[in-house]
Structure 1
C-alpha cells in the first residue's frame, strides 16, 4: 500500500471517528434534554465547582447575568382603544389627574380632604391609587433566609399570612398582620420529589394545599390546634407525575390542578375524590387559574404555547371536553397565567421572554392556533439550561393574527416557571403587572405604557415568585438564592436604621419616569444600560431625558446618590 492510500485510509478513519463523535454528542444532548424536561435530571447550582472550573459560559448563564434584548418600543395602538385602558386610567387616578406634577397634586389632594372638599371625608379609589404611584417600592430588607431555593411565596387574601415553600421540603407560615415577618409554623412536606412546586390558600385562609412530583396533592391546616395533613390522591395514568399549578375554587369545595401529562384535574374536597380529568393540552400544563370569583370560567397554559379558556359547567370526564376559546400569540411555552378578576382580562408569562395581556372576548382563530403550533414544533432549545435564542428576543417574530392587547418585554424567563401578576386593586387600581426574573430582579410594568415603572435589583439568583400585599405598597419575592426580600418605599434620604454589618441591609432601585402621557422618550434599555445605583442597579435615563433635567434636579440627584452609597466593607 503506497503512502497516498495510507493517507486516504487514515483520513477516512478520522472522518468516521469525527462523525461518530458528533452523533454521540447529539445523542447525549437529546437524552439530556429529555431527562430535564421529564424532571428526572436537574441542573446543579452555580456553586458546583465542576461547572465553575470547566464551563465559564455555563456559570454566567446560571448567574442570570444578562437580560433579554428589547429591540422596539411597546405598541400601544390596540391597548389605547380598549375599555381596559379607560377603566385602569380611572381606577388608578390617571384619567382624573393626568400628567400634572405629582408632588404638588398629592399636596392638593391632602388639602382638599383636610378642608372637606372630598365630600365623603376620605380619598376615592382613584385618588388613593394615584398617591400610591408615588410610593412604589424602591428599597428592600431581607426578611428570611433558608439557604435553599425558594419556589413559592404568596400573601393570604387578607395579607395577614405569608406562605413560603422551599426546596428543603418545608412549608413556612409567617405572621405579617402587624407589619412584621414572624415564622409561626413550619410544616414538613410529605412525598416530595425534587421540590414543592406550588401552593395555594383556601378561600377562608385556614388551610393550604401544595404539590410536587407526586401522584397526590396535600392539604394542611394553619390555625387549628390539631395538626391536619391529608393526602388528596389524583390517580393519574403516568407513573412519573407532577402537578405544576393548583388553586382552590371560590367556595373551597374543589381544587383545580394542571399536570405534566397535559391534563386538568379537579378534586372534590367534599366527596374526597377526583371528579374530573380532562385531556387539555399536547404538552405539560404549567399553570391554571380561575377567571373570577364565580369559579365557572378557568384558564390553562401549557408548553404548547396556547392559553385555553374552559367553562366548568360543560366539563365532564366521560364526555369530550372542548375549550370555549383559545388564545394564541406566544412563540414558546407558558409559565404562568393570572386573571385580573373581572372575568375578561388575563396575563400570561412565557418562555419567549414576554408577558401578554389578553381580553378573553377576543379569541384566536384556527389559523393563529396553527401558526403557534407550527412555530412551537420548530423550537429546538430548552429554557432549563440553554440561553435564549436571538429570534425569540426579536419582536418582529410576532405571530400574524395575534389577538393580545399588549406585550411587555424586559424580564428574563429561564430555568423555572417564573410567575407574574396584576398589582392589587385597592392600592394601585391594578395599574401594574409585576414579575420575577431569572436575572434576580423584580420587574414592575406600567399597564398603560408598556414600560417598566420600576426594576428592583438585589438577588444573586433567579426570582421565581412575587407577591404584592393586598392593602399596602409592599412586595415580597422568593428567590433561588434562598432569601425572601420585602420591597417597600423609602424616602431617598432615609437611612432606616441600616446595619451594614448585617445581611438585612437595605438598597435602592430607582423608578422610571413612566406615565401614559410620557411615552417612549427614553432609550430602550438593555442589561448594559443598568448602572450601579448605591448597592443596586437602576435604569439609566436617555440623553434626551437628561437634557430636560434642571440644575436643581441634578444637584438633588447627586446628593441622593451620595447619601445612599454604601461605605466600603
Structure 2
C-alpha cells in the first residue's frame, strides 16, 4: 500500500490546544544584593561544581556493567545530591574499593542521627506546585482493594517497605543515616541492597528538564533499549533517530529514513538484543531495520491484510526475537514469524481498532490486547487459531477505548491507559463476568465525542462510580488522554521496585503516580504540547519524553549533571590509574579523571577513618 495522503481516522494533525508553559528559569542577579549574599551564591555554585565533577569521576571509566552493577552510580548520585541540598559537608562515598570525602568543613564532630538534613529536595516553581497540590486534593482514590492485593505486598517487598498499610505521609528514611549505617557495617553487608536503592529513590525522583534534541515536526515515539545504552525516537518527519545515552548529553548515532509512511511513524520496538528495531505506520507492512553496521538495510515484513487502508498501531518482539506481535485497525491482531518470513496468524479479536498489544512476560506465551471497544483481552499463544480465536479471559471496567497496555512482567499484572482519562491496574486472575463486559460495551457505546479534537466530557472530568463488574485492582486519575494514543508504564524494577506508574499527558505534563497510594508523587511541567511517549532509564532515575512540541527531553534529579565541564579534563595529566576490586574478589585497573580536590578529600577521609578506629580501640 502506498503512502496515504489523507488524514487517517486515528490521528490528529495539530498541536495541543491545551498546554502548560515551560518551567520558568531562575531570575537574574539582583543589583541590590549585598556582598554577603553574592559570596554565599558563589560558595553554593562552587560546591555544586565540585559535586558535579566528583559525580562524573565516579561514573566514568567503567565499561558496560553486569545487570546489577549499573545500580551503583545511582546511589552515588543520591548521596551527592543529598549533600548538595543540605548543609552537611562531610560524608563518605564508597565506590568499588574507593572512598571519597566531599566537602570543606574541618569540623570532625559526627551527627549522623539528624534525619531532617536530607528530607527536603528541590520542587518545581510555585505556580506548578500549586497546581500539583490542587490535583492531589481532588484526587482521593479508594485503595481498599489495592491494599489487600498481592500487587501491593510484592511492591512493598521490592521497595523494602513495611508489609502493613503504607501511607504517602510516612516519613522517608534519611539517606544520610543510611550512608552512615553502611559505613559502620550496620546494614547487613558491605553495600546497599536493591531494597535500599528503591527506598532511597523516592526522595530523588526526576524534577529537572534538559532538552536533548529539537525537531521540526512532532515527536511520536521514544524508548530506551533494555540495557539503557541506546534511545530510539520516531518523528512525523519520517525519520528514526538512534542516540547513545552515555554522557551528559545524548549523542546522535544514526538517522534513518523510514519507508512507506502514512501520516507518521506510529510505533517502534527494539529487538531483545538491541541490534535492530521494527516500526509501523499506515502501511501494509511493518519494517525491520538493522541499527548497527555500515548499511542501513530495511526489510518489509508483509502482513497481507484484507483492507484497503491498513495501519499497525502497536507492535512488540517476543522475548526470543522470533515473532512480532501487531495490533491493527478493524479489530485484528497479527503475528509475524521472522524465521519463516511470513505472517503466521491473523486474529479477529475485537470490535474496535486494536490500539495496543503486549506479551505478559518473558515466556511470550500469554498476550494482552486493548481496543477501542474498551476491553482488555488475554490470549494464550499456544492455543491461538485463526478459525476459532478465543481469549483466555476478558477484563472490563473502562468507559472508553484503550490507548496502551503495559505488562508488569510477572505474568499476572498489567496497566491500561484509556480515553476515559484513567489508568487501571489489573490482575489477570480476576476476569470480568459477562455482565461486567456488557456494562463496558454499553458505556463505550454511549460515548459521542472524538478524543482527537474535542474536550473531555464532563462525566470523565468528574470521576464516576466504578462500572458494575469492574475487576480492576486500582484506578489512577489526573492526566489527560487526548489527541493521540498516549502511553503509560511501570517504573523499572532494578532502581524503583516498580513502585511508580508514569505517563504522558495531552497538556504537556508527565505524571508519576505512586502505585501504592494512587496519588501523583511528582508532576513534571515543561513541554508545551502533548507528551505522547515517556521512557524511564532501566537503571538511572531519568525519564526521557517525546512530545508534539518537537522536543525530546531528559528529566533527572536536579544536581545530577551540575558542575560537569569536560573542557577541564582534556589533557593526559588529568588521568590516573585506579585499582579497584571486582565482584569475583580480584582487581582491575582503569583510567579515571584526576581531580586534585578529590584526591585531597580521599587523603583526609583516610586519616579521619583511622582516627575513628583508633578512638574505638582506646575505648
**TM-score, normalised via structure 1 length:** 0.75
Q: 2:449 aligns with which of 353, 358, 381?
A: 381
Alignment root-mean-square deviation, CA: 2.5
Provide the C-alpha distance between the structure 2 equivalents of 1:298 and 1:410, rounded to a whole number of angstroms. 28
1:472 aligns with 2:540: yes
Displacement of 1:228 in angstroms is 1.7
Displacement of 1:229 in angstroms is 0.6
- Encode CA deviations 1:460-488: one digit per residue, 9 max, x unaligned: 10000000000000000000010011000
1:336 aligns with 2:414: no
Match of 1:44 in 2: 14
Q: 1:130 aligns with which of 190, 195, 199?
A: 199
Mapping 1:243-322, distance limit 5 Å: 243-317=312-386, 319-322=387-390
Moved more, 121-130 or 460-469: 121-130
Q: 1:140 aligns with which of 204, 209, 226?
A: 209
Q: Is the 8 A contact 2:19 2:530 kept in 1?
A: no
Provide the C-alpha distance between the structure 2 equivalents of 1:133 and 1:203, rounded to a whole number of angstroms. 29
Provide the C-alpha distance between the structure 2 equivalents of 1:348 and 1:367, rounded to a whole number of angstroms. 20
1:462 aligns with 2:462: no
SS in 1 for 2:464: helix
Mapping 1:210-229, distance limit 5 Å: 210-229=279-298
Provide the C-alpha distance between the structure 2 equivalents of 1:339 and 1:179, rounded to a whole number of angstroms. 31
Match of 1:404 in 2: 472
Mapping 1:22-101, distance limit 5 Å: 38-39=9-10, 42-45=12-15, 59-60=17-18, 73-95=140-162, 101=171
Provide the C-alpha distance between the structure 2 equivalents of 1:72 and 1:434, rounded to a whole number of angstroms. 16
SS in 2 for 1:128: helix
Q: Could you say if the C-alpha distance between residues 37 and 91 of structure 1 is closer, same or farther in structure 2, counting changes exceeding 3 Å? A: same
1:439 aligns with 2:507: yes
Match of 1:365 in 2: 433
Match of 2:572 in 1: none
Q: 1:482 aligns with which of 550, 553, 576?
A: 550
Provide the C-alpha distance between the structure 1 equivalents of 2:14 and 2:333, rounded to a whole number of angstroms. 30
Match of 2:225 in 1: 156
Displacement of 1:274 in angstroms is 0.3
Displacement of 1:38 in angstroms is 2.7
Provide the C-alpha distance between the structure 2 equivalents of 1:456 and 1:94, rounded to a whole number of angstroms. 25
Q: Could you say if the C-alpha distance between residues 63 and 335 of structure 1 is closer, same or farther in structure 2, counting changes exceeding 3 Å? A: farther
Q: 1:427 aligns with which of 482, 495, 507?
A: 495
1:345 aligns with 2:315: no
Match of 1:111 in 2: 180
- Encode CA deviations 1:386-436: one digit per residue, 9 max, x unaligned: 001001223224211211010000000000000000000011000000000
Match of 2:104 in 1: none
Between the two structures, name the one with larger relative contact order (CA 8 Å, sep ≥ 6): 2
Displacement of 1:115 in angstroms is 2.2
- Encode CA deviations 1:514-549: one digit per residue, 9 max, x unaligned: xxxxxxxxxxxxxxxxxxxxxxxxxxxxxxxxxxxx
- Encode CA deviations 1:54-102: one digit per residue, 9 max, x unaligned: xxxxx55899999998855100010000111111112112228977643
**TM-score, normalised via structure 2 length:** 0.69
Q: Provide structure 2 residue ranges, at least 5 long, that are not aligned to the other structure.
A: 1-5, 23-127, 566-619
Moved more, 116-125 or 298-307: 116-125
Q: 1:418 aligns with which of 466, 486, 507?
A: 486
Moved more, 83-92 or 478-487: 83-92
SS in 2 for 1:134: coil
Provide the C-alpha distance between the structure 1 equivalents of 2:504 and 2:311, rounded to a whole number of angstroms. 22
Provide the C-alpha distance between the structure 2 equivalents of 1:168 and 1:432, rounded to a whole number of angstroms. 32
SS in 1 for 2:451: coil
Displacement of 1:362 in angstroms is 0.4
Displacement of 1:261 in angstroms is 1.8
Match of 1:516 in 2: none
Provide the C-alpha distance between the structure 2 equivalents of 1:388 and 1:37, rounded to a whole number of angstroms. 21
Provide the C-alpha distance between the structure 1 equivalents of 2:482 and 2:163, rounded to a whole number of angstroms. 39
Q: Could you say if the C-alpha distance between residues 402 and 128 of structure 1 is closer, same or farther in structure 2, counting changes exceeding 3 Å? A: same
Displacement of 1:200 in angstroms is 0.2
Provide the C-alpha distance between the structure 1 equivalents of 2:180 and 2:195, rounded to a whole number of angstroms. 16
Q: Is the 8 A contact 2:508 2:529 kept in 1?
A: yes
Q: Could you say if the C-alpha distance between residues 37 and 170 of structure 1 is closer, same or farther in structure 2, counting changes exceeding 3 Å? A: closer
Q: Provide structure 1 residue ranges, at least 5 long, that are not aligned to the other structure.
A: 1-34, 47-58, 499-569
Q: Could you say if the C-alpha distance between residues 100 and 212 of structure 1 is closer, same or farther in structure 2, counting changes exceeding 3 Å? A: closer
Match of 1:28 in 2: none
Q: Could you say if the C-alpha distance between residues 349 and 118 of structure 1 is closer, same or farther in structure 2, counting changes exceeding 3 Å? A: same
